[in-house]
Structure 1
Amino acid sequence: MRAEIQNVVDEIKQGLALLRRHLDWDVSQKRLLELNNLAEDPDLWNDPQQAQKLMQERQKLETAINGYNKANQDLEDSIELIEMGEMEGDADIVADAEATLINLLAEINRQQIETLLSGEADGLDCYIEVHSGAGGTESQDWASMLLRMYTRWGEKSGFKVELMDITAGEEAGIKAATIMVKGENAYGWAKTEAGVHRLVRISPFDSQARRHTSFSSIWVYPVIDDSIDIEINESDCRIDTYRASGAGGQHVNTTDSAVRITHQPTGIVVQCQNQRSQHKNRAQAWDMLKARLYERELQIREDKASAEAASKTDIGWGHQIRSYVLQPYQLVKDLRTGVESTSPQDVLDGALAPYMEASLAQRAYGTDEDAAVDDLV
């Protein structure tokens, strides 16, 4: 076996050992057996909420165990094929098996990242809010680019993406927008994107073709379900209604169907206009407010548990997390992890996995002082 492939095999074995340790193998298998027995109990669904919770746990545990078993079997099969191919002098068999091993290593790395998604809310759907910063049309155009980027990321990741609210810019772009991303671990992945994003480019809105720097902020919070009880005193909230509008400022209806709720004790503001019915928009806005308050509580807990400012999602305007440079050179660089790409268009088309994975790993394991990056590109 070639030295390069032997290194791949060694990395796969190390990855499998870490996955097995993380699963606490014997405990996980015992728990899965218990859940399988519970699933056969006809009285289980007498409590639908508890039953659903147990079935979700079962599915997650079964997927993790089956994934480990399949990877372990693929490793053994590939090693055998390489040995057989080398004995028979069949280069095609060897090449196919080596390709399988390289792909398997990538899959093991992905599974290891998945194990980091074990936070209280990581498995939930999420809302992603985009807000343009100072800078008028240029900043609003950048906000619309970010909205597209996260929409594309969600779609490519197999999530369902729904536009909840959008406020168009005066000339181009958007002032703000909110999307809902639905799917397993949507919040766990997207939470790493909260913060300020910086764009450097030659502005298409500048007649003198000068270089401009723009900022937009991203806020991510989980969609909570009925099992999470968040109490809101309605007397603490101000509810405003207004006419919904689409891109370009065109009214999508002629009644005050859009709803804005301001939670006065915290200053949190949510709004929804994706339904034609004010009643439906109001209900959705209440759900969004509950989700924001829940995310705030999670953040308070995280702040108490961790002194690392880099891991906080409550980020001020002076603390950008990523720079996107389109001119005079092309580079997207994460200022927390140092991950970078010289293909900004791929990133803006939703290729965010390397950035999210590195940020999740940093949250879990911390970062070396030598890996620190400059505040600006």
Structure 2
Amino acid sequence: MKEKINELLEQIKNVWRKLFDSYGGKAQLKEYEIQINNENFWNDNKKAQEILKKQNILKSKVEPWEDLIYKLQDLKDLCEIAESEEDIMLLEKEINKLRKQYKHLLTISYFKEDMDINNAFLTIHSGAGGTEACDWVSMLYRAYLRYAERRGYKTELIDLLEAEGGIKSVTIEIKGEYAYGFLKSEIGIHRLVRISPFDAAKKRHTSFASVFIDPVIDDKIEITIKPEDIRIDTYRASGAGGQHVNKTSSAVRITHLQTGIVTQSQTDRSQHRNKELAMKVLKSKLYEYYKILEQQKSKSKQEAKKDISWGNQIRSYIFQPYTLVKDHRTKFENPNIISVMDGNIDNFIEEYLKWKNLS
């Protein structure tokens, strides 16, 4: 037992030393303290808020690791006085809990962007495949809802366009720590291969859906959108009919004229709320759009094209003649397709983060 704890403790300390140095270590924390304690610190409120935010981000990275090391050292001391089998079982349980915490912190350490900690907008569009593709969007939508539920994230429906056999497109906000950091691995084309339930001949069909992920932008980040830069259209929200049909033009579509980016919301009965939600999504998409343009300046055309090409097929989901989910970037595979479609995509996300960190 003691050897197990020592081995894990040494492993964590080695990883933490490297990470701490990469974060800037004590020198960076001290630098923030000097700046904050300066009597002129609040003269520039905007700059002061930025420094405080950076300090909090660094602390949020440092403190969990220090807490983990402290808990393991505490466990090591308890191991010295453990006598009964019950004591040993409790220690074993605690070690397993701390191993999971270590794995989580290691995954979090792969996040390099400031926006990784933010909430995320997730949009799914149907591609080639007609009715089958719309059903595929419904399946992916359910999988992401289940994933969010498992992680303890909250979700809010922003826009839903139904079609025969399923969903044409859907946008939701996923609210929770590192929602964007985890889910940005899902950006790209998702391919479905199965015998279609919509085909009487029982032929095998291939369908496609595209997934977009954008970080929800903090109010402190200024994204200027002038009235003349956009066109706002209102229309009646689509629905199944009957007493719940929206008889007023409460749905809102916003088009950013320069970039051609379009966002919309029709889930709320209030036009004002739908406009607010559509504008929120637009700001996030513009932030990502201009960030990619900046990245293009410092990369070769080939690299930039790879980054912004949403046409990249990232994952295949094969139901027949065998079952397999395969990520084409990391080569990670899982034959348990039912589990994956129930939202168990953590392994795919973790493998992507490792792959991205090494590339």
| Structure-2-length-normalised TM-score | 0.84
User: Does the CA contact (< 8 Å) of 2:6 and 2:76 recur in 1?
Assistant: no
Q: CA deviation at 1:188?
A: 1.9
Determine whether 1:136 maps to 2:133: no
Alpha-carbon spacing, 1:226–1:92, altered in 2? closer, same or farther (3 Å): closer
One-letter code aligned to 1:30? K
Q: CA deviation at 1:168?
A: 0.2
Q: CA deviation at 1:154?
A: 2.1
Match of 2:69 in 1: 72
Determine whether 1:118 maps to 2:112: yes
User: Does the CA contact (< 8 Å) of 1:15 and 1:109 recur in 2?
Assistant: no
Correspondence list, 1:82-97, <5 A: 82=79, 93-97=87-91
Q: 1:107 aligns with which of 94, 98, 101?
A: 101
User: Does the CA contact (< 8 Å) of 2:187 and 2:310 recur in 1?
Assistant: no
Deviates more, 1:190-199 or 1:261-270: 261-270
User: Does the CA contact (< 8 Å) of 1:135 and 1:214 recur in 2?
Assistant: yes
One-letter code aligned to 1:76? Q
Alpha-carbon spacing, 1:348–1:227, altered in 2? closer, same or farther (3 Å): same
Q: Residue by residue, what CA displacement relative to the aligned partner does 1:331-373 show, whole Å, maximum 9, x if unpaired?
A: 222111122222222222222222222222322321xxxxxxx
Match of 1:375 in 2: none
**2 CA distance for matches of 1:205 and 1:50?**
58
User: Does the CA contact (< 8 Å) of 1:19 and 1:68 recur in 2?
Assistant: no
Q: CA deviation at 1:145?
A: 1.1
Match of 1:17 in 2: 17
Q: CA deviation at 1:8?
A: 4.7
Match of 1:372 in 2: none
Determine whether 1:175 maps to 2:133: no
SS at match of 1:296: helix
Please give the root-mean-square deviation of Cα atoms over the aligned residues, in Å: 3.3
Q: Residue by residue, what CA displacement relative to the aligned partner does 1:175-197 show, whole Å, maximum 9, x if unpaired?
A: 00100112232222222211001
**2 CA distance for matches of 1:288 and 1:128?**
10
Deviates more, 1:306-315 or 1:260-269: 306-315
Q: Residue by residue, what CA displacement relative to the aligned partner does 1:97-135 show, whole Å, maximum 9, x if unpaired?
A: 345334423322321221232313223222111000111
**2 CA distance for matches of 1:316 and 1:19?**
32
Match of 1:374 in 2: none
Alpha-carbon spacing, 1:36–1:108, altered in 2? closer, same or farther (3 Å): farther
Alpha-carbon spacing, 1:139–1:23, altered in 2? closer, same or farther (3 Å): same
Q: CA deviation at 1:322?
A: 0.9
One-letter code aligned to 1:299? I
**1 CA distance for matches of 2:114 and 2:58?**
16
Q: Residue by residue, what CA displacement relative to the aligned partner does 1:263-319 show, whole Å, maximum 9, x if unpaired?
A: 2322211111122122322232223222211110112233344557599553343x2
SS at match of 2:308: coil
Query: How many aligned residue pairs are there?
Result: 356
One-letter code aligned to 2:122? I
Match of 2:150 in 1: 156
One-letter code aligned to 2:286? L
Q: CA deviation at 1:143?
A: 0.4
Determine whether 1:232 maps to 2:225: yes
User: Does the CA contact (< 8 Å) of 2:143 and 2:342 recur in 1?
Assistant: yes
**2 CA distance for matches of 1:252 and 1:67?**
50
Match of 2:266 in 1: 273
SS at match of 2:316: strand
User: Does the CA contact (< 8 Å) of 1:168 and 1:249 recur in 2?
Assistant: no
Give percent identity, aligned residues only.
40
Correspondence list, 1:23-102, <5 A: 23-27=23-27, 29-30=29-30, 56-57=53-54, 59-82=56-79, 93-102=87-96
Match of 1:213 in 2: 206
User: Does the CA contact (< 8 Å) of 2:5 and 2:76 recur in 1?
Assistant: no
| Structure-1-length-normalised TM-score | 0.81
Match of 2:283 in 1: 290
**2 CA distance for matches of 1:15 and 1:288?**
37
SS at match of 1:276: coil
Structure 2: which 5+ residue stretches go unaligned? none
Alpha-carbon spacing, 1:358–1:252, altered in 2? closer, same or farther (3 Å): farther
SS at match of 1:145: helix
Alpha-carbon spacing, 1:9–1:37, altered in 2? closer, same or farther (3 Å): same
Structure 1: which 5+ residue stretches go unaligned? 367-377
